[in-house]
């Protein structure tokens, strides 16, 4: 008897012969180079992970998904899957045209037949899909500040899958997993979704979930895009592989899912359920605050702890996957074993380490007990998370022209070089303009490009254990946020607002720029004819009026000490 989780599901790939012909013809088509998120989406469209979608959603499908989690034909689907493009690219297109979708190296992966082109209401999308139009949510920030302004929709013809050079043996398409389950005769499979390393509590939880469901276990971590600041997927997969042999080999397998998470909480849980159904899974563990992004701009959680479980349960039959609730597992000292939090024997001592506490122990080199995690996992984490005072970081000064950014940055650089231990690089606005951005003007677009270049270089310095000091004007909130996201993937980011008033900057004006701006001889001059968006919550705000440079630089040193980035 063929079981439903064993039968193949439709893919969007064309035959090898058709792919050759289409690749040849694609030379005459407009080409779109896919972003990392679009690459993840396209791969799951083509391999059936996003079944029943036949391509990027049309405007009607998008509207239905945003408003009531259903495509135009009524199918349950909670997440918009659209191709966002720039206005310049969209202006060259009309519905009815085909475009070639290419990876970052220019390799053609698919042909999109454009049926729809529209300007979405992104605020509405944020409210309905993510629960709030709040830039503290990483996906809302992406929507407004990273994604293109125009959406394209239409069916996709898959020519070839994106190439992955890492962990090849761990990457399975939905049909490859279904074939494996068919071969092993696994009728029931419970999937565990994770974007974090596995510790002993997770192992205990997954053991119990599989036992309760009388199912085999699929550890199915996301390795596409997760939340900015998460442990990189290379480290995480090494951690998973280190603990895989703690599970009974005949009942457990692991496969990597190249998904770009949106951190959309309840909707994301339903989406994850549908994706896992397509991969042949019958049961799915839904966690407390599943795929939650943390705090909103008011300091409250975006979603209630069990909202995801509630929404999943409402749609469980239609998803076609049985939910297994997450049991919060705690270690009982006297019993030397893990128990669900609601089954702890009376009068016993519960031990637990939060994620924040774990990060603190890693950062400060403090011991992590074996009851909490496996030594093999801790060893992997310590490799990529050295003590905080050994990690790279970025200090990002922002303020008006003439505020004193460069002067303080130079003083800080000298103080840090005096301490030694890590290479220090100063990325001053004027110097970067000369060496990296000499072809750019001073329009908003060009200033954004310049700041993002600085951010990219700073992120590379940070990744490699150095200290980057940046001192551009950086007048726009969204661009500073983009730089923060780049850097925080690899280390700490300290934003310093040099809060000198425009009157004082004008008084100090050694270069005569303010005078020229007042006379209209310099267009789009920050603070005069172009706005400066003041940082609302920088890590440090420095007042320079009546304070000498040494004192200002020392304030930054004290802040770095308090963050554990340098030793007192």
Q: Give the count of beta carbons closer than 10 Å to the beta carbon of residue 228.
A: 17
Instruction: Check if the beta carbon of residue 217 is closer than 8 Å to that of residue 192.
Output: yes
Q: Is 129 helix (H, G, I), strand (E, B) or coil?
A: helix
Q: Is 317 helix (H, G, I), strand (E, B) or coil?
A: helix
Spatial CB neighbours of 435, under 8 Å, sequence gap ≥ 6? none
What HEC string does 214-242 produce? CCEEEECCECCECCCCCCCHHHHHHHHHH
Instruction: Check if the beta carbon of residue 358 is closer than 8 Å to that of residue 558.
Output: no
Could you identify the residue written with the tokens 């761990």?
A: 170
Distance, C-alpha 549 to centroid of its chain: 37
Spatial CB neighbours of 32, under 8 Å, sequence gap ≥ 6? 83, 85, 89, 99, 100, 101, 102, 112
Tokens for 80, please give them: 């918009």
206 catalytic per annotation: no
Q: Give the count of beta carbons closer than 10 Å to the beta carbon of residue 304.
A: 14
DSSP code string of 248-282: -GGGEEE-BB--B----THHHHHHHHHHHHHTT-S
Measured CA to CA, the distance from residue 77 to residue 55 in angstroms comes to: 13
Instruction: Check if the beta carbon of residue 349 is closer than 8 Å to that of residue 306.
Output: no
Instruction: Check if the beta carbon of residue 287 is closer than 8 Å to that of residue 326.
Output: yes
226 catalytic per annotation: no
388 catalytic per annotation: no
Q: Please tell me which residue in 115, 145, 170, 196 is annotated as part of the active site.
A: 196
Q: Give the count of beta carbons closer than 10 Å to the beta carbon of residue 536.
A: 8
- The secondary structure of residue 349, as a DSSP letter, is P
Q: Please tell me which residue in 37, 178, 195, 262 is annotated as part of the active site.
A: 195
Instruction: Check if the beta carbon of residue 401 is closer than 8 Å to that of residue 526.
Output: yes
Instruction: Check if the beta carbon of residue 99 is closer than 8 Å to that of residue 293.
Output: no
Backbone angles phi, psi at 199, to 5 degrees: -115, 180
Q: Please tell me which residue in 194, 394, 398, 544 is annotated as part of the active site.
A: 194
Backbone angles phi, psi at 468, to 5 degrees: -105, 130
Measured CA to CA, the distance from residue 90 to residue 117 in angstroms comes to: 8
Query: Max alpha carbon distance in the chain (Å)?
Result: 84
Instruction: Check if the beta carbon of residue 189 is closer than 8 Å to that of residue 181.
Output: yes
Spatial CB neighbours of 357, under 8 Å, sequence gap ≥ 6? none
Backbone angles phi, psi at 161, to 5 degrees: -80, 150
Which residues are catalytically annotated? 194-196
């Amino acid at each position: 008897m063929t079981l439903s989780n064993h039968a193949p599901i439709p893919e969007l790939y064309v035959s090898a012969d058709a792919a050759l012909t289409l690749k040849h013809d694609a030379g005459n088509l407009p080409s779109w180079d896919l972003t990392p998120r679009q690459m993840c989406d396209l791969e799951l469209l083509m391999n059936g992970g996003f079944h029943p979608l036949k391509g990027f959603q049309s405007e009607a499908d998008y509207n239905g998904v945003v408003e009531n989690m259903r495509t135009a034909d009524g199918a349950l689907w909670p997440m918009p899957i659209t191709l966002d493009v720039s206005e310049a690219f969209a202006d060259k297109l009309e519905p009815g045209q085909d475009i070639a979708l290419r990876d970052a190296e220019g390799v053609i992966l698919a042909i999109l037949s454009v049926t729809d082109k529209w300007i979405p209401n992104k605020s509405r999308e944020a409210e309905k899909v993510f629960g709030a139009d709040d830039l503290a949510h990483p996906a809302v920030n992406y929507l407004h500040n990273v994604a293109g302004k125009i959406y394209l929709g239409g069916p996709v013809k898959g020519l070839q899958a994106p190439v992955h050079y890492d962990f090849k043996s761990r990457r399975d398409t939905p049909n490859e997993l279904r074939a494996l389950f068919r071969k092993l005769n696994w009728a029931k499979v419970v999937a565990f979704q994770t974007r974090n390393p596995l510790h002993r509590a997770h192992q205990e939880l997954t053991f119990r979930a599989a036992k309760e469901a009388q199912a085999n276990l699929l550890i199915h971590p996301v390795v596409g895009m997760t939340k900015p600041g998460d442990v990189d997927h290379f480290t995480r997969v090494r951690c998973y592989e280190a603990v895989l042999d703690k599970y009974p080999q005949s009942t457990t397998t692991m496969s990597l899912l190249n998904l770009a998470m949106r951190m959309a909480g309840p909707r994301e849980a339903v989406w994850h359920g549908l994706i896992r159904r397509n991969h042949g899974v019958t049961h799915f563990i839904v966690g407390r605050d599943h795929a939650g992004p943390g705090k909103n701009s008011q300091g409250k959680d975006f979603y209630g702890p069990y909202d995801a479980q509630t929404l999943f349960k409402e749609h469980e039959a239609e998803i076609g996957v049985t939910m297994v609730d997450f049991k919060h597992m705690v270690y009982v000292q006297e019993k030397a074993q893990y128990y669900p939090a609601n089954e702890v024997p009376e009068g016993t001592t519960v031990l637990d380490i939060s994620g924040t506490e774990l990060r603190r122990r890693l950062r400060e080199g403090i011991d992590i007990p074996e009851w909490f995690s496996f030594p093999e996992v801790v060893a992997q984490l310590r490799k990529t998370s050295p003590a905080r005072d050994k990690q790279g970081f970025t200090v990002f000064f922002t303020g008006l022209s003439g505020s004193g950014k460069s002067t303080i940055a130079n003083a800080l650089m000298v103080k840090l070089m005096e301490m030694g231990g890590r290479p220090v690089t100063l990325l001053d606005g004027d110097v970067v303009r000369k060496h990296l951005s000499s072809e750019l003007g001073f329009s908003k677009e060009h200033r954004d490009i310049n700041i993002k270049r600085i951010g990219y270089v700073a992120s590379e310095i940070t990744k490699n254990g150095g200290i980057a000091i940046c001192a551009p004007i950086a007048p726009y909130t969204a661009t500073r946020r983009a730089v923060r996201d780049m850097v925080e993937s690899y280390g700490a980011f300290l934003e310093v607002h040099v809060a000198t008033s425009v009157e004082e900057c004008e008084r100090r004006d050694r270069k005569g720029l303010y005078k020229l701006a007042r006379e209209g001889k310099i267009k789009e001059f920050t603070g005069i004819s172009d706005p400066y968006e003041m940082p609302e919550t920088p890590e440090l705000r420095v007042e320079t009026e009546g304070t000498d440079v040494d004192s200002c630089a020392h304030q930054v040193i004290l802040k770095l000490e308090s963050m554990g980035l340098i030793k007192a």
